Amino acid sequence: MDVRVVDESLESFKSELIVVGLCKGSSVPNFLESVDKKLDGSISHVLKTKEFEGEFGQFRLISTLGKLPSKSVLLFGLGESKDLTLDVLRRSAGVSAKIVRDLCGVSEFATVLHTVDVPKSSKDERAQVVTEGTVLASYQFIKYRTVDRDKIKVLRKVTLVGDGVANSVKKGMILADCANLVRDLANEPASSLHPKELADVAKELERLGIKVVVHDKKSIEKIGLTALLAVNRGSVHEPRLVVMEYNGGGKKKVALVGKGITFDSGGLNIKTDDGMMTMKHDMTGAAVVIAALKAASQLKLGVNLVGVFAATENMPGMDAYKQGDVVKTFSGKTIEIANTDAEGRVILADALAYTEKTFKPDLMVDLATLTGAVSVALGSPCAGVMGTDQSLIDSLLLSGKSTGEKLWQLPFFREYHEQVKSDIADVRNLGIIRKEAGAITAGAFLAAFVEKTAWAHIDIAGVSWLDYDGEYIRRGATGFGVRLLINALENLK
């Protein structure tokens, strides 16, 4: 989607439709007075008669009847002014964009949502979130639809009317486009996105000056990522380990690590049809790492970043790893396989240990669609976070509040770590009390493969895919995590 900024007045700018946000109970704001006059008081009329009251999400389309260059004005309700935040603005941009596309059937429009007076916000922040909300809401995954393509409503262009916000609009676009890249990758059917293709996407980042090294099966064998190889054994497609480096300066080296299971059938502990249906998106953690590096370099962030992901399918092929197997890992520790469907933690064991040993980062954050248990605990409104460093976790929690990608910290007591100890190996890939605290025991398992680095694990299994439409995120892959990570990196001390 094309997002522009023009330094023009509402009365002179020409578009199909102009979105104007109004809080509950507000009268015609100053900047709309002349527009209202030109429209013979139509706006003040609908406010006076309470035909439009400004409830969040309420809207009213007013035709300009040729009295303005633009064809119509869409009044959009922002809700109570006391509740107005940047996230409300982002949500308003998303909901109004969908109204414009789906109900008004317009593909080009203008907006002045960024001029709304949000307490404690700058005009740059407002322009950024309006751009994010609009671009995220306009996302559609329609490449495989062939019938009546011309009838699919698409938003092509939005113009923010008002000057001086071009840089923030650009930033909002980069962030939303990178989140949409995650969505494209996660929505892509697994039979056209194997580890090789996922690695190819990362390789494209070289064009931005990012150093990308792709390790194929031979190289993975040489490095000794035996846990990744174990999970890969049931698949006919070879695994990949991908390392991306972007150095924009900064005192601390930050490592981002992602789970890249391009399809999770469950392996020999095969999933049910419902459980398997969306497992093409089990590589979302890896996609978020790719997109975060892309965004960091496009935004020229002053951080020293390394992104790593391990990619394989989890399939029940002839040589698949089995329940009861003991798997060696890069770290030297051994894993008892209690369930082949708990494969994400097995590949991450290698990815985390390899990243820590090879790059010696100051901070390490992994993202993984790791457990169904996290969505039982938290659902889709927020992801679970846990780890070994409270100040890292605190900064992620704070970033989540500001980007709308909310996190909730789960406890990480000693007892949970006890539950993943094995009798015959060092750790087992399932908590000893199977049905208890599945998201936390998965995190505790990962902790066994992080020696001393300040580390946080974000379980995105509940948030990376939606079965229903959200306000600015349509059902399917959500792209959760990219904006969160960039915000956290920007706030690094």
Residues 6+ apart with CB under 8 A from 104: 17, 61, 72, 74
* Of residues 119 and 189, the one with the C-beta less far from ligand BES: 189
**Chosen from ligand BES, Zn ion, none, partner binding at 438 (C-beta under 5 to 8 Å by type):** ligand BES
Active site residue 271: yes
- Which of 131, 371, 395, 399 is the binder for ligand BES (CB under 6 A)? 371
Helix intervals (H) in 337-411: 344-359, 372-378, 390-403
Q: Which of residues 276-295 bind ligand BES (CB under 6 A)?
A: 282
* Of residues 195 and 438, the one with the C-beta less far from ligand BES: 438
Q: Residue holding tokens 């169904």?
A: 372
Amino acid at 341: D
Using alpha carbons, select from 363, 360, 352 the residue that is nearest to residue 309: 352
* Of residues 132 and 343, the one with the C-beta less far from ligand BES: 343
Residue 237 dihedral angles phi and psi, to the nearest 5°: -100, 130
**Chosen from ligand BES, Zn ion, none, partner binding at 180 (C-beta under 5 to 8 Å by type):** none
Kindly name the residue from 37, 271, 333, 401 that is annotated as catalytic.
271
Which residues of the shown chain bind Zn ion in the complex (CB under 5 A)? 261, 264, 282, 341, 343-344
Residues 6+ apart with CB under 8 A from 481: 182, 284, 285, 288, 292, 367, 383, 405, 458, 460, 464
Active site residue 259: no
* Of residues 91 and 281, the one with the C-beta less far from ligand BES: 281
316 binds ligand BES per the rule CB under 6 A: no
Q: In the complex, what is the shortest distance from the CB of residue 276 to ligand BES, in angstroms, rounded to a whole number?
A: 9
- Which of 29, 248, 372, 470 is the binder for ligand BES (CB under 6 A)? 372
Asked if residues 489 and 255 have their Cβ atoms less than 8 Å apart, the reply is: no
- Which of 335, 373, 484, 489 is the binder for ligand BES (CB under 6 A)? 373
Using alpha carbons, select from 258, 430, 247, 212 the residue that is nearest to residue 336: 430
Give 300's Cβ-side CA count (13 Å radius): 2
**Chosen from Zn ion, ligand BES, none, partner binding at 461 (C-beta under 5 to 8 Å by type):** ligand BES
**Chosen from ligand BES, Zn ion, none, partner binding at 313 (C-beta under 5 to 8 Å by type):** none
Using alpha carbons, select from 178, 125, 397 the residue that is nearest to residue 299: 178
- Which of 239, 258, 344, 387 is the binder for ligand BES (CB under 6 A)? 344
d(CA 223, CA 61): 62
d(CA 78, CA 24): 7
Segment contacting ligand BES by CB under 6 A, of 34-42, 186-194, 364-372, 418-426 = 364-372
Residue positions annotated with a catalytic role? 271, 345
